[in-house]
Structure formats: structure tokens, C-alpha cells
Amino acid sequence: MANIKSQEKRNRQNERRRLANKSIRSEMKTRIKSALEAAESGDPDTDLKLRLAQRRIDSACSKGVIHANKAARLKSRLFREVASAL
């Protein structure tokens, strides 16, 4: 437990950021999963869901939740899996 005032504040800030990042990361994973499921089932809204997943990945990257290389890797894998499912 921190006993320095600045570290106590830093702990509060880190907790707030952790919760915010958690929701962003969770929504990103959900969008990716729904895009993959749509592609596998032959859903006509696959393109829309793919764009939404891409947007969430880019959003998480720009907010600093995930690294740029991880965002590129996730998008590459997503597009490759959707293309093979179609």
C-alpha cells in the first residue's frame, strides 16, 4: 500500500485507466468475434461487421490501449480468416 501522496494519486489514476481500457478492449474483442461468426455463417452483414471490427481495433490503437503492431496483426489475421471463410 502506498504511503506517498503522489503514489496514492497515481494508483487512483491507474485504476480509472485500467477500467476504461478494459471496456475498450472488451468491445474490440466482441466486434472481432461477431465479424468472424458472421463470415462463417454466411451472414449478408459480414462487410458491415468487418468494418465495425476494424474501426474498433483502430480506435483502441489510437487511444493507446493496444500497440500499433498488435492492431496491424489483429486486422491482418481478421481479414485473412474472413476471406478464407467466404
Q: What is the pTM of this model?
A: 0.89
Rounded CA separation 63/58 (Å): 9
Q: Over the chain, what is the mean pLDDT?
A: 96
Q: Is the pLDDT of residue 23 over 90?
A: yes
pLDDT (tens digit, 9 = 90+) per residue, 51-84?
Answer: 999 999 999 999 999 999 999 999 999 999 999 9
Report the share of the chain in percent with pLDDT over 70: 100
Question: For residue 54, what is its C-alpha cell?
Answer: 476494424
Query: CA quadruple 12, 28, 75, 55: dihedral positive or negative?
Result: negative
Q: Write down the H helix ranges in the chain.
A: 5-41, 46-62, 68-85
36 in helix, strand or coil?
Answer: helix
Task: Report the pLDDT value the prediction gives residue 1, as an integer from 0 to 100.
Answer: 80
